[in-house]
Structure 1
Amino acid sequence: MPSVRAVARKLTEVVRQAARETDSEADFAHRFHAALQEALEELEIDAEVHLEQMMLTARGERTRPDAVYGSVVLEIERPGKLDTSAGLLETRRQLRRHLEAQAEALAAFDLQVVGASLDGIHILFGRVHGGEVVLEEPLQINHQAMERLLLSIRAIVRRRLSPENLAEDFGPGGVVARRTVRTLFRRLRRDLEEQPRVRVLYDEWERIFGIVYGAQPRRAGEDAEELARRFDLEEAVGPEDLKPLLFSVHTYYALLIKLLVREVLPLVALTGLEEIPSLAARLTAMEDGELRETLEALERGDPIAQIAALRNFIEGGFFAWYLDGFDAETADAVREMGRLLARYEPATQRLAPEAARDLFKRLYQELIPRQVRHDLGEYYTPDWLAQLVLDESGYDGEGRFLDPACGSGTFLVLAARRARERGRSLQEILRNVVGFDINPLAVLTARANLVLALSDILDEHHDELDLPVYLTDAVLIPYRHKRQSEMAMEEGELKAGDWWYALTTVGEFVIPAPFAEERRRMEDLMRLLRDAVEGRGGQGVGAETFLEWIQRRFVDSFELTEEEVEQAAPILHNLYTQMQRLQEQKEDSIWTRILINEFAPAYVGRFDYVVGNPPWIRWGYLSEEYRRATLEMWQSHGLFSLKGMEARLGAGEKDFSMLFTYAAADHYLAEGGTLVFLITQEVFKAKGAGEGFRRFRLGEGTPLKVIKAHDLVTLKPFEGAANKTALIVLRKGEETKYPVPYVRWRKRARGRIRPEMDLTAVREATEREDLVAHPTDPPLGPWMTVPRRLVGIVRQMQPSAGAKPAYTARRGASTEPYGVYWLQVKHVRPDGNLVVENMPGRGKRDVPHVENFVIEPTHVYPALRGGNVRRWGTEHEFYVLVVQDPETREGIEEKRLLQEARRTYEYLEQFKEYLLARASFWKYFSRTYYLDSPLSDSQVLAWAREKVKGDSLYWRYAGETARGHRYQIADVPFYTMFNIGPEIFAPFKVVWARMASDLRAAVVGKRRTPFGEKLVIPTDTTSFIAVEDEDEAHYLCALLNSAPCRFYVRAFSSAGRGFGAPSIIRRIRIPPYKPGHYLHKALVESSRRAHELAAQPVVDTEALREVEARADQAAARLWDLTDDDLQAIYDALAGRVPLVEEPGPPERITPIT
């Protein structure tokens, strides 16, 4: 069968000739239809034809197009009609009516509505998009126009290339995905043992996995089972199978991307060349050997380079492992992929440019279940949010643009489109729109999306091109590791050598500085290195010959001096030896490409705009290797600011996005440039973890100015995720000045903001509060965010600088695992002992269910969790077992507990294994020792006994580290609980819920139980202040529940995980209680009365509101607030705040020249 392009050329000549030789519409139409029908027959396109069929528009207007081929509307005009303004106007009106009628007729079908009017000299294309008719400008009749017409008709009988169709056919609901992933997973299990190169590729991918996703996903077992179910795996899987399963899915997804881009490019790019036949269709008829060779060429990127001169579309080779040990089952799976892909119309994007969406996002979301993606921290940035980020940056297509964590390329594609709208050429776009990502799958996807976005201008440039999307770590960039030091080499020692390195799973690659400092030199060095180790049939040309090549290339061209090359020779010799060893093990092919990418950040220069969505990973979830590698950077930028108990309690749990922001501003942002990142809102609101970030200074040098911040928390823009999304706009080289503009988004009505909405629709569905931010404790405290007119009010309520707080709050008792310490008391025995049942369904840890166990009442107390705290009252739900000595802050000695409460000890002993498995037990109550060699159990016990002071002794081996074999020893009872001191047993406590959205405080003391009056124990989802006097407790409770205090706390403590922490008390000016003070007495009376009213079976809400109003008045007077101030606070609590006016054009910055 001839190609579409060849048939289009012939059709063009016939149509042109018919236009020259005919004058009437009828004669021209007759010859055109005959020629078109012949062309369709040649291409074996069986399209049903209807001539002059009556149609109706939605408005009931009649219209009769000359012909409908399949569903493509054609209107034939007399030759030359489109040359006149009147003729063109009439033709456009006519075609619009035809398309409207066709859209009405096809409303129930998933079909693209397209049409054309032509007069033999020009052709006018039109289509329907989003319910609107889109008419283009007339085009000359040529082979490109006729090819498009033929493709439009062919598209009717082929499957439309859309994200929805791809997800349906190639997702796990289809046979192809399930079969291919199963095949790959079984192959991988085998090849990891039998194929050395597969092991190396997988190990390097796993190293990157630890950086991208964290060292070990918390729900690895559950996630592996979910993936296995999705792809109908019959074999049992465990936590260790999650990564191999993901690697298999990623391999399938990557192969599909490569095949799809290979199908689409010939039809959307380089339209002047002869058509290149479909690869997908050819795959189905290939024998195994030919199929493997074809796939090897595809994995090298040969077909893409042939079509579009793209050198680096495919490189790295992580997902080409399946070619090693290629077998018949794998071949059959690939043929099935080709057979299904061949059904698609690859020209969909060319025929309908608005279809140029991220083709792959939806498919990936289908392949990886939502829960697994969320456990891995994978969230795609919705297009509307990316549009907002670009708008806030001011990027309009001018200047240099970088996304240092580009993912699938959402920001890059939007930036490239804006650059095209500004008339930028292909070369300018590829030079100035750059992306990095450390995830090889993300890099491939971003390159694919960028190629498709630029495909119709790829023929502007016929030299070889590199896509500016690099597989590299944007934080640990090579030139940060430039050293002046001694380095041990296999052939001796190189002293005081200036060299750079990149760390991989096969070792450290060291590059002499003169070769690494310029990209072209680095690329030439890698090319020579690859040719040298692959020379002589893969045996290598030898290190001496390689060094001769280096001499000829760099010295003879006067690019480097003989002295520079001579000094670098030992490093180069070692580099060759290292690569040669990999070549012998068939492991070398990817490393030269990886190294070129690894060094890309050293060559890209500075950018006017650094934009994106950096990784959000908690410090504790990063791999230990990566934590060590980046520690110096955290410290140099001042991002570690906590010490002692604050850090132990987890306040120092930083988010990697903080370091990423500082590193990106430091390495890539030009002076005066703008950085806009999506980031966790905790960098603004967290009390300890965000302090270093809020320095807004790179090390001790360049300042960063916060231009604006957006609070998007309530919109929950990342589907299914509860993370607190914010946006920050920074400018490099200027000091931050408070207050800072702060925009808080809120929905106008209930419902969610859907990911597929555009920014205009999101703006219409939301309101934006016009607030300002300033620190509670200048300059680094959590941000207080309030309407500008209320800034004075919050300053009235802030403590004076350096003032010591009158009260200290604490977090409730840590009672984890809840299934052990939380109890239901079923009844009280006559001897006073309790029959209890544990609550194994509570908490994250599975523990055995124990019923009807008898224990003493001594250590059983009514428990209070945050969810049971109401304003002015509490509810009782369960009891808690507390076997802690509050003075020592450790568990009651085991001997003593056995004597005083043997049954209680026996109850706890059942759970000894689970209690000793607590990470908190070893974190807070053990000492760590490093030994040169491991010990037997008996040796450990003998050695450890010398280290402990009491009767309890527990130890565990925590693995081998760089410092030696790690042992942890604890000399406290196995049931020891954390964060329980004397305060928890105070006679009165003011308690409020943590992790809420508003302050709800109540006074608690003793509660009557079936076994006597017992103190209430607040648990770890509460905060509390302990006092000795009940009136003082009510004084504090009235203040905390007052409208001024609720407003004040909500202004800096964000709803959710961080809300209501004990530290809020340090940030409120609360005077010490004075029994005789009239305002203090009024507050006590209000709280007592409110507690009485709230305790009634039916609450008198009107009376309670009056009491609360009196408390608000007294609190306002205490803080020197006026009635107008109080009214403004009421308005703010009710959401009646000033809204942002719609933005004007963003400020432009002068681009780098």
Structure 2
Amino acid sequence: MGVGLIVDAEEIAEEIRRVASESISEEDLRQGVEYVLKRKVIEKLKEIEGEGVPHASWKPPRARYEVTLVSGVRADALYGHLIIEYERPKTFETKSGFEKAVEQVKGYIIAHAQNNEARFPRYLGVVLDGFKIGFVRYRSVTRTFERKGPFEVNKNTVAKLIEAIVGLRRKALSPEDLLKDFGPESPVTRAAIKTFYGKLLNPLDRTKTFFEDWRRVFSQVCAYSPSKVKGLEKFYGLKDADPEKLLFAVHTYYALIMKLLAAEVGSLYITPRIWSYLRTLEDAYYRGHERLRDELRDLEEGGIFQKLGILNFLEADYFAWYLDEWDPEVGKAIMNVIDRLVEYDPSVADLEPERIRDLFKRLYQNLVPKKIRHDLGEYYTPDWLAELVLNEVGWTLENFEKVAEEKEDVLAPLDLRLLDPACGSGTFLILAIGRLKSYVEEHWIDKKTALRKITRNIVGFDLNPLAVIASRANYLISLGDMLREKGDQPIEIPIYLADSILVERRQTLTAAAYVLRTVAGEFSIPETVVKKGLLPKVLAVIEECVRGGYNADEFKARLLREVELKEDEVSVIVELFNNMLRLEREGKNRIWTRILKNSFAPFFVGKFDYVVGNPPWINWENLPEDYRNSTKELWDAYGLLRKTKGMGLGKVKKDMAMLFIARCMDRYVKDGGMFAFLAPFTIYKTQAGAGFRRHITNYNVQKIHELVTLYPFEGATNRTSLIVIRKAGKTSFPIPCIIWCNPRSKPIDINASLREVARMTKQYRLMMIPIEVNRPESPWMQVTEKAYKTLKESVIGESLW
């Protein structure tokens, strides 16, 4: 597969170091480095792109001869200008030498921007002494210049310099621009979705299978029903369209954009590319639309990601069906998407990662109308609220420092484990990675070590196939330049398509088995195989044998050679192999072994120091009947069906958030670990929450935030709370309760920071206690500290809570 023209960052780094070793003054260094950059980067850009490439001004600002100014041609590029300040070789061996260079380049930026603060972010400053390099940029959020370095001149730091130069001619990768180019009003979007929808009207059997199983899974995720997506056809101007198939087309389109961008960003971290991965696809199309299909098939089968050393980025995916329905019309629609995507500069993920935090969330929020998303129970967590959750459990830089000090090990915080069991697009995980990366940079920790630990310890599950792709893409982007330090050993992005609370178990004649139901049939796995950790190996053998055309006897012989199993286990696995072989012959295989691997991931990941998230807010009664029946045993086991006689504030239906909290506390939180979930505030008040309230006080409920008047989910009227629990001891009443009030008439901006939200709202400290002493299942009321003391002294006489 062609990957375009490549710049060898290691070779350029060697040449810069050679120039430095031969230079006496900064002027010698400037001339030598300029020659290297022109020959190795600028001229190659001209060869490929023609006009419109960045140009270097060899007349430096303020008549200084140790500065190079490289300017771009796009107003929407991440940076418009790159200023390189040269210093005499080895100047940065002293701290003062580096600091002086930083101050000089800041002065050049201010002068060239004509002291206009609004223009400062358009500049990137580079300071270079030939052996070491540093970067300077202006951050609008803090209104300060930020510097990084000095770093050794090596392939990674030179790659960052090359990215900045190449990025001068490409559009900055940002949620705002993605929305303009790929939102619902975009002609590119409408044409692609219309094309995908058209292919779903008379699909192949294999496509039908994927569509039906997507519908099955989606109904478990969000109490899906066809009536809830009514109106989508009007939104996209497709009169009388089947809304279910249209939603599947929208999901397919959204998934494709994420895959393409993830491949583009991921490839950036292996070798800096002047001609991108997307250019490769563009080139393939012009050699024939079938060539593009072949390249995309490689993408969908994970080929490009496996070349990058990422094993599981694309697997268990329902959205590659368009390859089977391929024709020139599909090719043209996808090529239009690629043509627009190729204008973007993926290096923003490396140079300014905070600009693309949870990149895809806003795009999806606009591709599907708010009312439909809310009817489906889809409420995306704003960053400020996720920040509050992480603060409350102690996933903070301050706590990382404390852990390192207590354990006398600077790496100790990297061994802390965090899970989001309903991760959606990955908001909590991305923020968690960002905080840990800040700690890594502050302590100069080896990035290869950090990468291995992060991908082992920051984990997510979701049952929505689209959310899993979004979360993996965001996770990959948030790892950023750590991927360059990956080495030869591949990594896995620890986001799994799995049900966090339920894996169905069934007793057979010979042994217990776990069962996964799909529209392609039921798949059984011996419980002992899962618990012994043999499932990944077993599934790998099945997949290889199905592709290799083995019969059942040949498969059994190979299985016994490669995996140590008992006879009763072997018989169940051979039956599974036969089912997979049947699906292969029917043209319906390919993803089912990977779906099985993902589905059983909760058994392999272990327990966590922190479990955080925003679980589905779905009425249990609205879920499919077979799923309700499967989970009823869990509701009973945790005592969640208990009621209080005559004490509720009105009957309400049981919310799945209660089961999520009970199950995840039990299954995933280490003893002594912290847990924080967003949940409906009604669970503390209503009759339906009685069993939940009694159960949860078996743990140490430490704090509750009432966020009812903030309406944090895009103005939706959900009564929101945050519950914080430690898995150590039992609840002691009163529980501290923070009430957040919004005195303004307009809702909170979903893009506001936590600091901004705290400033524009008022917080009141109250307490929560059951209305009946020694009966935690009774509704909980909020009282002031003064009122609590009065109750305790005058009504009760002594503390009975």
TM over 0.5: yes
Alignment-derived partner of residue 622 in structure 1: 623
The answer to whether 1:236 aligns with 2:240 is yes
- Cα pair 1:180 1:334 within 8 Å, conserved: yes
Match of 2:235 among 214, 227, 235: 227
Match of 1:209 among 218, 227, 235: 218
The answer to whether 1:42 aligns with 2:59 is no
- Cα pair 2:349 2:480 within 8 Å, conserved: no
- SS of structure 1 residue aligned to 2:724: strand
- SS of structure 2 residue aligned to 1:511: strand
In 2, distance between residues paired with 1:757 and 1:770?
Answer: 23
Alignment-derived partner of residue 1105 in structure 1: none
Greater fraction helix:
2
Alignment-derived partner of residue 84 in structure 2: 74
> Offset of 1:107 from its aligned partner?
6.0
- Cα pair 1:99 1:128 within 8 Å, conserved: no
Identity value in percent: 36
Alpha-carbon distance change, 713 to 650 in structure 1, aligned in 2, over 3 angstroms: closer
Alignment-derived partner of residue 694 in structure 2: 695
In 1, distance between residues paired with 2:18 and 2:361?
Answer: 47
> Offset of 1:439 from its aligned partner?
0.3
In 2, distance between residues paired with 1:474 and 1:326?
Answer: 35
1:160 partner letter:
A
What CA deviation, in whole Å up to 9, does each residue of 1:818-848 have, x standing for no partner? Answer: xxxxxxxxxxxxxxxxxxxxxxxxxxxxxxx
The answer to whether 1:343 aligns with 2:343 is yes
2:518 partner letter:
T
What CA deviation, in whole Å up to 9, does each residue of 1:270-301 have, x standing for no partner? Answer: 67999978544434424122211111111111
Gaps of 5+ in 1: 56-61, 488-494, 801-1153
Match of 1:127 among 118, 125, 137: 137
Alignment-derived partner of residue 595 in structure 2: 594
> Offset of 1:417 from its aligned partner?
3.1
Alpha-carbon distance change, 345 to 213 in structure 1, aligned in 2, over 3 angstroms: same
1:597 partner letter:
N
- SS of structure 1 residue aligned to 2:359: coil
Match of 1:717 among 712, 718, 721: 712
Alpha-carbon distance change, 533 to 25 in structure 1, aligned in 2, over 3 angstroms: closer
Gaps of 5+ in 2: 47-51, 72-80, 401-412
What CA deviation, in whole Å up to 9, does each residue of 1:372-427 have, x standing for no partner? Answer: 22222212111111111111112344522111101111111222233442656222
The answer to whether 1:313 aligns with 2:327 is no
- Cα pair 2:190 2:236 within 8 Å, conserved: no
Q: Map residues 176-191 of structure 1 onto 2, 5 A cutoff.
A: 176-191=188-203
- SS of structure 2 residue aligned to 1:172: coil
> Offset of 1:310 from its aligned partner?
1.4
- Cα pair 1:412 1:450 within 8 Å, conserved: yes
What CA deviation, in whole Å up to 9, does each residue of 1:924-982 have, x standing for no partner? Answer: xxxxxxxxxxxxxxxxxxxxxxxxxxxxxxxxxxxxxxxxxxxxxxxxxxxxxxxxxxx
Larger RCO, structures 1/2 (Cα 8 Å, 6+ apart): 2
> Offset of 1:728 from its aligned partner?
0.6
Q: Map residues 266-277 of structure 1 onto 2, 5 A cutoff.
A: 266-269=267-270
The answer to whether 1:401 aligns with 2:411 is no
Alpha-carbon distance change, 122 to 691 in structure 1, aligned in 2, over 3 angstroms: same
> Offset of 1:590 from its aligned partner?
0.9
Task: Count residues with an aligned counterpart.
Answer: 751
- Cα pair 1:280 1:342 within 8 Å, conserved: no
Alpha-carbon distance change, 671 to 40 in structure 1, aligned in 2, over 3 angstroms: same
1:789 partner letter:
K
Alignment-derived partner of residue 474 in structure 1: 500
What CA deviation, in whole Å up to 9, does each residue of 1:777-822 have, x standing for no partner? Answer: 333221110111102556799999xxxxxxxxxxxxxxxxxxxxxx
Alignment-derived partner of residue 1033 in structure 1: none
In 2, distance between residues paired with 1:201 and 1:190?
Answer: 14
2:740 partner letter:
W
In 2, distance between residues paired with 1:228 and 1:774?
Answer: 50
- Cα pair 2:420 2:461 within 8 Å, conserved: yes
Match of 2:489 among 415, 438, 463: 463
Alignment-derived partner of residue 473 in structure 2: 448
- Cα pair 2:700 2:727 within 8 Å, conserved: yes
Alpha-carbon distance change, 749 to 470 in structure 1, aligned in 2, over 3 angstroms: same
Alpha-carbon distance change, 457 to 147 in structure 1, aligned in 2, over 3 angstroms: closer
What CA deviation, in whole Å up to 9, does each residue of 1:195-224 have, x standing for no partner? Answer: 111111111110111111214265432x32
> Offset of 1:63 from its aligned partner?
9.7
In 2, distance between residues paired with 1:498 and 1:30?
Answer: 73
Q: Map residues 486-885 of structure 1 onto 2, 5 A cutoff.
A: 487=508, 495-519=509-533, 521-536=534-549, 541-554=550-563, 559-560=564-565, 564=566, 566-642=567-643, 651-686=651-686, 688-697=687-696, 703-747=698-742, 749-777=744-772, 778-793=775-790
In 1, distance between residues paired with 2:340 and 2:26?
Answer: 42
- Cα pair 2:228 2:376 within 8 Å, conserved: no
- Cα pair 2:8 2:272 within 8 Å, conserved: no
In 2, distance between residues paired with 1:35 and 1:343?
Answer: 26
In 2, distance between residues paired with 1:212 and 1:277?
Answer: 33
In 1, distance between residues paired with 2:287 and 2:366?
Answer: 30
- SS of structure 1 residue aligned to 2:502: coil
In 1, distance between residues paired with 2:157 and 2:732?
Answer: 58
> Offset of 1:528 from its aligned partner?
1.8
In 1, distance between residues paired with 2:15 and 2:369?
Answer: 54
In 2, distance between residues paired with 1:64 and 1:665?
Answer: 63
Alignment-derived partner of residue 415 in structure 1: 432
> Offset of 1:692 from its aligned partner?
1.4
- TM-score, normalised to structure 2's length? 0.87
Alpha-carbon distance change, 335 to 266 in structure 1, aligned in 2, over 3 angstroms: same
- SS of structure 1 residue aligned to 2:135: strand
In 2, distance between residues paired with 1:299 and 1:689?
Answer: 45
- Cα pair 1:607 1:668 within 8 Å, conserved: yes
- Cα pair 2:6 2:271 within 8 Å, conserved: no
1:575 partner letter:
L
> Offset of 1:31 from its aligned partner?
4.0
- Cα pair 1:642 1:652 within 8 Å, conserved: no
In 2, distance between residues paired with 1:3 and 1:15?
Answer: 24
In 1, distance between residues paired with 2:452 and 2:34?
Answer: 42
In 1, distance between residues paired with 2:431 and 2:229?
Answer: 35
What CA deviation, in whole Å up to 9, does each residue of 1:629-651 have, x standing for no partner? Answer: 2122222222223499999x981
- TM-score, normalised to structure 1's length? 0.61
- Cα pair 2:232 2:368 within 8 Å, conserved: no
Alignment-derived partner of residue 172 in structure 1: 184
- SS of structure 2 residue aligned to 1:696: helix
Alpha-carbon distance change, 675 to 644 in structure 1, aligned in 2, over 3 angstroms: closer
In 2, distance between residues paired with 1:451 and 1:143?
Answer: 21
What CA deviation, in whole Å up to 9, does each residue of 1:1081-1117 have, x standing for no partner? Answer: xxxxxxxxxxxxxxxxxxxxxxxxxxxxxxxxxxxxx
Alpha-carbon distance change, 751 to 11 in structure 1, aligned in 2, over 3 angstroms: same
- SS of structure 2 residue aligned to 1:41: helix
In 1, distance between residues paired with 2:560 and 2:274?
Answer: 41
In 2, distance between residues paired with 1:23 and 1:799?
Answer: 85
Q: CA RMSD in A?
A: 3.1
In 2, distance between residues paired with 1:110 and 1:337?
Answer: 32
Alpha-carbon distance change, 91 to 505 in structure 1, aligned in 2, over 3 angstroms: same
Alpha-carbon distance change, 12 to 706 in structure 1, aligned in 2, over 3 angstroms: closer
- Cα pair 2:20 2:129 within 8 Å, conserved: yes
What CA deviation, in whole Å up to 9, does each residue of 1:999-1042 have, x standing for no partner? Answer: xxxxxxxxxxxxxxxxxxxxxxxxxxxxxxxxxxxxxxxxxxxx
- SS of structure 1 residue aligned to 2:688: coil
In 1, distance between residues paired with 2:719 and 2:522?
Answer: 38
In 1, distance between residues paired with 2:647 and 2:704?
Answer: 27
In 2, distance between residues paired with 1:243 and 1:117?
Answer: 55
